Chains A and B, each alone.
Chain A
Amino acid sequence: MAVLDKKKSKVSDKVPSSSMADIAFLLLIFFLVTTTFPKDKGLAIVLPEEGGEVQVSAQNILHIIIQPNGLVEVKRGDSQQVQVVAARDIEGIWRQDVSENDNLIAAVKTHPQAPYRFMVDVLDALHTAGAERISLQLFEG
Chain B
Amino acid sequence: MPIKGGGFSRKSQASSDVPDSSMADIAFLLLIFFMVTTVFQKDRDRPIIWPEAEATQKIDEKLKNILNIWVQRDGSIFINDRPYAMGEVSSVVAPLYAASDRALVISIRSDREVQYNVIDLLQKQLVAAGVVRVVFATELEQRMQRERR
A→B interface (CB under 8 Å): 17-18, 20-21, 23-25, 28, 37, 39-50, 66, 88, 110-121, 123-124, 127-128, 136-138
Contact = CB atoms under 8 A, between A and B. Distances in A.
Interface in B29-56: 31, 40, 51-56
Interface residues on B, range: 35 or more
Given A40-B137, A111-B116, 4 more contacts: A20-B24, A21-B27, A24-B27, A116-B111
Interface of B, secondary structure class, is mixed
Contact of A21 (B23, B55, B57, B117): B23
Contacts, number: 152
Contacts of B61: 40
Given A40-B61, A40-B107, A45-B134, A113 B117 contact: yes
A79 B91 CA distance: 41
A47 B126 contact: yes
30 contacts: A20-B20, A24-B27, A24-B28, A24-B31, A40-B66, A40-B107, A40-B137, A41-B59, A41-B140, A42-B108, A42-B137, A43-B135, A43-B136, A44-B57, A44-B133, A47-B123, A48-B127, A49-B127, A50-B127, A112-B117, A112-B120, A114-B115, A115-B112, A116-B118, A119-B116, A120-B51, A121-B53, A123-B136, A124-B55, A127-B55
